[in-house]
Amino acid sequence: MALLRRFWLLWAALGAIAVGFTLLAAGSLSAAPLLLVGGYCVLLPLFLWRSFRRSVSR
């Protein structure tokens, strides 16, 4: 349970990327790019920033 709580942002990013690629393959040209940009440019960097911030401050 601690792993899920610690890595929830990573799972959200990977989920958004997977759903984005699935929608892109299905032909969606509105929701798919938004999910891909949100996963790659918002959620993934936010996860990296939060995880490295914790390890540096210890």
> What pLDDT is attached to residue 8?
92
pLDDT per position as a tens digit, 7-27: 999 999 999 999 999 999 999
pTM of the model as a whole: 0.85
Average pLDDT, the chain: 90
Name the percent of the chain lying above pLDDT 70.
88
Q: Does residue 19 lie within any of the structural domains? A: yes
Q: What are phi and psi of 28, to 5 degrees?
A: -75, 125
Q: Does residue 29 lie within any of the structural domains? A: yes
| Structural domain that includes position 18 | 9-57
Rounded to whole angstroms, the Cα distance separating 58 from 56 reads 6
Enter the DSSP assignment of 27: T
Q: How many domains does the chain have?
A: 1
Q: What is the DSSP string of 39-51?
A: IIIIIHHHHHHHH
- Here the tokens at position 13 are 């990013």
Residue 58 has pLDDT above 70, yes or no: no
Burial class (CB in 10 A: 0-12, 13-18, 19+), 20: buried
Residue 39 has pLDDT above 90, yes or no: yes
Q: Does residue 3 lie within any of the structural domains? A: no
